[in-house]
Amino acid sequence: MHKPAALMMLSLALFAAGCSAGNGASGSTANDTPAKNTPAADTAPAASTAAAVDILKIAGSNNGYPSPFAFSASGPFGYLRNSFIFDTLTWKDDKGVIPWLAKSWDVTDNGLTYTFKLEENVKWHDGQAFTADDVVFSFNYYKTYPFNWNGDISQIKSVDKVNDLTVVFHLNNKYAPFLSDLVGIVPIIPKHVWEKVTKPAEYRDDAALVGTGPYKLKKYDSATGQYLFAANEQFFKGQVMVKEVAFVAASNKLLALQNGEIDETYTSSYADVQTAEKAGFKTIKSEPTGSVVRISFNLDHPKLGDKRLRQALAYALNREEISSKITGGKPMVGSAGVVPTDSPWYNKNVKQYPYDPAQAEKILDELGYKKNANGVREDLKLSVMTSSTMPDATMMKEMLKKVGIELNLVQLDAAAFATALGENKYDIALTGHIGASGDPDYLRLWFSGKAANMWSSRGKSLQLEEFHKLAEQQMQELDEGKRHEIVNKMQDVLAEELPTLVLYHRPFYDIHKAEVFDKFKNTFGGIADGMPLWENKVYFINVKK
């Protein structure tokens, strides 16, 4: 069940506001492949006691009330605040998918049935016992009241209780990212709290924030958007090392770091990284990058519906120059096949469009868009729509002017931008978001209109039968090698048809005070569905192996 209005990934407006991301050192889904007889997490001795941190202050903003139905879906931070309180059956660390509420699982040979053994002696924050009934209830409840994020539960046929600590999932079809992008995303909620709630988005009783997670919400200021989480000392997974986590509003994050107001923040500016490192702060670069800045073409447009025009525009844009000037670091030009070039799912043989204004002019001439005496192709006036002040658009305007195209810049607020995008009321839209570091099934979601993110979901205008057939095949292919071949073909289709053109990938950087807390890492493939962020709760816990 996807909620179209939800934004699975950051909008470019949020990026501009200083939010950033980081993700796993490898995006391979080897650890996401259905595994049989996963070792039980409780068979090893408990982790030794680690040095505790009294409080960790992180730059943040208002992401709404952190219940599973009320947090803000305008970016990943609402989901992450929620994940501090609520747990999922699986989770991710820097190595890949790991057991969480489920201590082990088994899958049938046909890939249609998963049996999960649940952790014992897990308590909800109100002291009641967590059981299989809560798991069954949660997934049934989400069918009526969708979770406020991603997690395609339409893949699930049924969830059945075997006993108090065993549940069985029956799928409608094989689903390769099941462990990472479904049961690793959708939180388990307590049946005894929610079974009588019929308006979950409005529910604000204290019980709405009863989870099994490592933290409880101690304070939330909706006016300033500041949160204070306190450790759950009875957390089943291990010692919570950071006793309190505060998300603090900070307009100038580097200055706030220097003044001791915060201990950690994010940036997409390489200049900020250089300044921070000179000041003695530690930085971590997101690897793989996971972020895309791209233009989406309205394929219903009478002229842009011709792929030759879209290809001409691709040749006319010096994307390496745009990337270099915007990011300030080493340019990472986007692939025409959408998948980032540093992803293990990247098709190295996919068609590309290097900067070639002569080739752009040739195609434009062949299409009949002739220049007037002033060098302007009068029959080809286009506009690019943005959701914030973006130098990218200005640079595009100047580059297209060189091949005779007048590009009008249209800036809308976020709400109007989302509406226009959803209704196809634009020529070209300049967008940015994260989520390209996780399982490649995001390609299916983006271009079939099922992604939670309005910024990425352009499916209703992408009428490519071949692509959608391949998308369904890769989703159900459990052999990773064969799945790579299918995903490569999907990239080939996208590169030829160019429904979107990735301008560049924006690396993000974590900046923190190592003397306060120094256990931040990149998450393998990004948190949950590919979020390249460092606010992964697993790094705040001395997890029992």
The tens-digit pLDDT sequence of the chain (545 residues) is 333 333 333 333 333 333 333 322 222 333 344 444 444 434 344 455 668 999 999 999 999 999 999 998 877 899 999 999 999 999 999 999 999 999 999 999 999 999 999 999 999 999 999 999 999 999 999 999 999 888 999 999 999 999 999 999 999 999 999 999 999 999 999 999 999 999 999 999 999 999 999 999 999 998 888 999 999 999 999 999 999 999 999 989 999 999 999 999 999 889 999 999 999 999 999 988 888 999 999 999 999 999 999 999 999 999 999 999 988 878 899 999 999 999 999 999 999 999 999 999 999 999 999 999 999 999 999 999 998 777 899 999 999 999 999 999 999 988 898 888 888 899 999 988 888 888 999 999 888 876 655 556 554 556 788 999 999 999 999 999 999 999 999 999 999 999 999 999 988 899 999 999 999 999 999 998 888 889 999 999 999 86
Confidence at residue 112, expressed as pLDDT on a 0 to 100 scale: 98
- Partner residues linked to 239 by β-bridges: 542
DSSP string, 29-42: -GGGS--SSPPPGG
Same structural domain, 75 and 212: yes
The domain spanning residue 522 has which CATH number? 3.40.190.10
Closest to 223 in 3D by CA, of 64, 14, 17: 64
Backbone angles phi, psi at 433, to 5 degrees: -165, 175
Residue for token digits 């996780």? 438
Phi-psi label, residue 382: left if phi above 0, alpha if psi -120 to 50, beta otherwise:
beta
Q: Indicate the SS3 state at residue 529.
A: coil
Q: How far apart are CA 206 and CA 204, in angstroms?
A: 6
Count each helix (H run) and each strand (E run) in the chain, helices first.
Answer: 15, 20
- 8 domain residue, yes or no: no
Measured between alpha carbons, how far is residue 458 from residues 215, 296, 347, 384, 443 in Å?
36, 8, 22, 16, 11
Same domain, yes or no, for 365 and 446? yes
Neighbours of 467 (CB within 10 A): 22
Taking the mean position of all CA atoms in its chain, how far away is CA 164?
A: 33
Q: Would you state the structure tokens that stand for residue 341, as one six-digit string?
A: 């070039």
Q: Is residue 460 part of a domain?
A: yes
Same domain, 242 and 364: no
Do 82 and 183 lie in one domain? The reply is yes
**If DSSP codes are grouped into helix, strand and coil, which group holds residue 214?**
coil
Same domain, 472 and 427: yes
CATH of the domain at 356: 3.10.105.10
Q: Are 457 and 7 in contact (CB under 8 A)?
A: no
Domain that holds residue 225: 53-98+120-153+172-250+510-543
Residue 255 lies in a domain: no
CA distance 426 to 446: 18
**Could you tell me if 46 and 58 are in contact, meaning their C-beta atoms sit under 8 angstroms apart?**
no
Which residues, in sequence order, are CB contacts of 513 under 8 Å at separation 6+? 257, 263, 264, 281, 282
Q: Give me the torsion for CA of 28, 34, 37, 41, rounded to 10°.
A: 50
CA dist 329 and 112 (Å) reads 45
Do residues 402 and 434 share a domain?
yes
- Is there a single domain that holds both residue 244 and residue 319? no
- In a domain? residue 88: yes
* H, E, C per residue of 408-475: EEEECCHHHHHHHHHCCCCCEEEEEEECCCCCCCHHHHHHCCCCCCCCCCCHHHCCCHHHHHHHHHHH
Q: What is the CA radius of gyration of the chain?
A: 23
Q: Is residue 425 part of a domain?
A: yes
Query: d(Cα 123, Cα 127) in Å, to the nearest integer?
Result: 5
- Within a domain: 19: no
**301 and 441 together in one domain:** yes
Cα dist from 108 to 32, 36, 114, 136, 185, whole Å = 15, 8, 7, 20, 22
What's the structural domain count of the chain? 2
